[in-house]
Chains A and B, each alone.
Chain A
Amino acid sequence: MKLQPAKGALRLATAAIAVSSLMGSGIVFAQNDNADSQNSDSSKQDNTSQSTDLVQLQKDPSNWTMWSGQYNGQRYSELDQINAENAGQLSPAWTFSTGVLRGHEGGPLVIGDTMYISTPFPNKVFALDLETHAIKWKYEPTQNPQVIPIMCCDTVNRGLAYGDGKIFLQQADTTLVALDQKTGKVEWKSVNGDPTKGESATNAPIVIKDKVYTGISGGEFGVRGHLTAYNVSDGKMAWRAYSTGPDDTMLIDPKKTMNAVTQKPVGADTSLKSWGGDQWKIGGGTTWGWMTYDPELDLLYYGTGNPGTWNPTQRPGDNKYSMTIFARDPDTGEAKWLYQMTPHDEWDYDGVNEKILVDQKIDGKDRKLVVHFDRNGFAYTQDRATGELLVAKKYDPAVNWASGIDMKTGRPKLVDEYSTDGKVDQNVTGICPAALGSKDQQPASYSPKTGLFYVPTNHVCMDYEPSKVDYTAGQPYVGSTVAMYPGPQDIVNPTKEFEGKRMGTFIAFDATTGEIKWSVPERFSVWSGALATAGDVVFYGTLEGYLKAIDAKTGKELYSFKTPSGIIGNVNTWKYDGKQYVGVLSGIGGWAGIGMAAGLTDPNAGLGAVGGYKDLKNYTQLGGVLTVFTLPDSVAKKAHTSEKVASK
């Protein structure tokens, strides 16, 4: 939401008394950012920090070194000890409670013999010993609780980054912290924004070479989004690229930065010209999504969120560059190419979803592609060197706000009935997808073996009533009332029967043609990040709390286990001491938890009637727990593995 977890803003308290004095600086630091060093057993061989070269390290499937395993965002692992034949014999090996309620997005990092996890606010970090499962160290920042309500839709944190012997945590209050990988000691902290202006943070940072990159949340508070690079060594800002405004502040070179659709330079001040007056200063375009990187092309990919208020009538123009995919030079920040998916957004279809880098053939030719499943319900396949738009197709047949994408102009072909522009105080009904998007932050995966994307999706529609809103710093800047309900029941090649109304679908998708291959119907939105493996097993979690393993070819369910709480985290995998493990954080919450925990009303069943499906709260309760799965030793030994022998 911007109700998205945390694009938030701050509500300055009122009686501004205590609060304003407190938050005046916007930064409150903890008194004891104590890294309790517990039993850090140095006798254990730490095979990790030798390699400072992340490009190499990420290729070792024993590790899970960044949010998606590797820079390419594929969330694919070469490990194949767990395969489609034996996955049915998986069972939980160990668990760990984070002690934090609220929504647990993101997933564990594994480097050598240590796992690193972070929690929602207050953003604890734990380093866990994979041998003993004991806590090696923990870090708990003290943050001003007044940042909580500006993270409007839950205090999620999407996980950590690793590089150069440091673990990076992006705190909710926008402070970026570097912790010593071995001890948890604070190496430096850098302040990236100001919560009194509605700025907060939920994203996972990413490390490339000597810099660490982070984003900002607050799309519902009139924040002007930016991507910022800090030096890994000392935390000083290296560059910052805003999402809106004058070219120089956006690191756009009007003569060199390419418009992906026209394949021509964008020209001067295209952002400024697409806004009325000074509105770009509260123009949104926040950067709370995942980032990916291509080491060969040396390009960093990410997207920007919704423009200013949700009331489109109030902000005429294309509102550039909200809702845009950017490819940037990670050293200088300069934008190489850009493409705006949803000009002049009218539905809150943030463009932040992960940009997955794959090499596939299109029309018989090998292409370097970037594929992303946008909130707006279209899957975009582009050449990742130039941005050239190759395929743009709906990945949920329910999508109705646009009939398609005009491949010449790159613009959506809008359907008047579902436009919310010029309709202040009118309730526009039946828009699909809902503001949650056909997919939100939950990252998809890709298997180079099958050539398919595995995409966790929402199947939810909405009524949207825009209203006039005034901007006040630190106050929500939304201007819309949204009511959400399950989408229509059409489904492409379902893998099984489903009774009742579904709100989610887990699909296999061919991005070279834009076709849905098969669909697993799910009762609720699938809000968990997927994992694909060389064992031809695909994993994901459900809001009810099931961790599921399915066959990568057919979608047939191989294994399912009910974890302690709903899953909105990402499923990750690693290898330790000869065995493959799969781990996921449970902990219901996030926008999905907020939007659905109380049950959605069914517009077709008459006023007030609640549809014939049970509330999410009948399935799960709050609670952050990590669950780790593996095969019984006997089964693991028998598994024939073709893995390249890892360095372990």
Chain B
Amino acid sequence: MTPTRQTIAVTLVALATWSLSSTVLAADDAPIVNDYSNMGAEYNPSGDSQSSDKSAAENTSDSSKETDSKQAAANTGADGKPYKVECADGKCKVSEDVMVGYEKFGSHCSQCHAQNAEGSTFAPSLVQRLKGMDQGRFTAAVAGGVTRLDSTTGQYSVMPAWANNEDVMNHVQQIWAFLKARSDGELPAGRPQQMDDKS
């Protein structure tokens, strides 16, 4: 099966699932919806909280670094690979985009796909899944998520959609670079070190 076909299949299943479940509300089954108002605070954080958040963390965000790393990402290796990895004596140094990818993967994806992207009881190994996957399909899966009903187990497998998450979407190239290096077998598991020069 080609990757493209698989994507289509996945999408169809996902859509089917949605439309199925949208018919599901039976009126006679209406749950009690309690009145949670008048509890002093909005259920949902107000815009203020975000701004106060921001001010609290203002000095910690380093926007210049982000710009740097975007540029670094554009600098793919001469061999067309999206990463640079140099290993010697069991230590590997990586280009900045791979390093950023490692960190972003660690903060957004590793809780399901595991620290080293080798998968868990909850989500597949991306080291395996990326073999033969092109970047277009990768980006589409990350942005749109995957909802799949596994017909042999009767159970859902759900990968969340990240389209609304700026920190992921702004670094999807770097995450790709990191995962590709892992999947190609060029970067072993563990925390890499960044190369000194940003060439």
Contacts and interface: CB of A to CB of B under 8 A. Distances in A.
Contacts of B165: 11, 472, 475-476
Given A197-B44, A472-B165, A594-B112, A31 B25 contact: yes
A186 B26 CA distance: 13
Contacts of B91: 606-607
Interface string B13-52: 0110111011111100111111110011111111011111
A598 B24 contact: no
Nearest to B148: A145
Given A277-B48, A622-B121, A314 B29 contact: no
B120 A594 contact: yes
A222 B53 CA distance: 12
A593 interface: yes
B62 interface: yes
B29 A607 contact: no
Contacts of B3: none
A608 B92 contact: yes
A11 B22 contact: no
Contacts of A18: 14-15, 18-19, 22
B115 A278 contact: no
A179 B90 CA distance: 58
B143 interface: yes
Contact of B48 (A154, A278, A482): A278
A149 B157 CA distance: 9
Nearest to A480: B107
Interface stretch (A239-247, A497-505, A524-532): A239-247
B77 interface: no
A506 B152 CA distance: 37
Contacts of A102: 121-122, 155
Given A153-B122, A473-B45, A597-B120, A279 B52 contact: yes
Contacts of B90: 606-609
Interface string A133-167: 00000000010111011101110000000000000
B114 A594 contact: yes
A295 interface: no
Contact of A194 (B43, B143, B145): B43
Contacts of A606: 90-91
A607 B191 contact: yes
A463 B145 CA distance: 29
Contact of B33 (A15, A191, A479): A191
B190 A601 contact: yes
Interface string A1-23: 10100000011111110110110
B8 interface: no
A335 B25 CA distance: 38
Given A19-B18, A608-B188, A190 B34 contact: yes
B170 to A, nearest CB: 11
Contacts of B29: 29-31, 33, 186, 189
A201 to B, nearest CB: 14
B183 interface: no
B45 A601 contact: no
Nearest to B42: A281
A278 B52 contact: yes
Interface string A231-263: 000111100101001101100000000000000
B19 to A, nearest CB: 8
A191 B60 contact: no
Contacts of A191: 31-34
Interface in B71-124: 90-92, 103, 106-108, 110-112, 114-116, 118-122
A152 B49 contact: no
B163 A481 contact: no
A188 interface: yes
Contacts of B162: 11, 14
A483 interface: yes
B21 A607 contact: no
A222 B44 CA distance: 10
A145 B17 contact: yes
B104 to A, nearest CB: 9
A297 to B, nearest CB: 27
B26 A599 contact: no
Contact of B114 (A189, A222, A314, A597): A597
Interface string A538-561: 000000000000000000000000
Contacts of A145: 17, 21, 147, 149, 156, 158
Nearest to A241: B39
A21 B22 contact: yes
A603 B192 CA distance: 11
Q: Which of B54, B55, B120, B143 has the most CB of A within 10 A?
A: B120
A311 B107 CA distance: 11
A492 interface: no
Given A189-B32, A190-B31, A425-B62, A589 B189 contact: no
A622 B32 CA distance: 35
A467 interface: yes
Contacts of B197: none
Contact of B164 (A28, A234, A475, A482): A475
A508 to B, nearest CB: 30
Nearest to B163: A14
Contact of A103 (B49, B92, B121): B121
Nearest to A121: B156
Q: Which of A472, A479, A481 has the most CB of B within 10 A?
A: A481
Interface of B: 14-15, 17-19, 21-26, 29-36, 39-46, 48-57, 60-62, 90-92, 103, 106-108, 110-112, 114-116, 118-122, 125, 143-145, 147, 149, 153-156, 158-167, 187-193
User: Top 6 A-B pairs ranked by shortest CB distance?
Assistant: A608-B188, A277-B52, A11-B160, A481-B106, A14-B163, A278-B49
Given A145-B21, A278-B49, 4 more contacts: A149-B159, A189-B31, A470-B167, A600-B115
17 contacts: A14-B143, A16-B164, A33-B29, A103-B121, A121-B156, A220-B111, A236-B32, A242-B40, A277-B55, A281-B41, A281-B42, A313-B56, A473-B44, A589-B121, A598-B118, A608-B190, A609-B188
Interface of A: 1, 3, 10-16, 18-19, 21-22, 27-33, 99-103, 121-122, 142, 144-146, 148-150, 152-154, 175, 186, 188-191, 194, 197, 220, 222, 224, 234-237, 240, 242, 245-246, 248-249, 276-282, 311, 313-316, 424-425, 427, 463, 465, 467-473, 475-476, 478-484, 588-589, 593-595, 597-601, 603, 606-610, 622
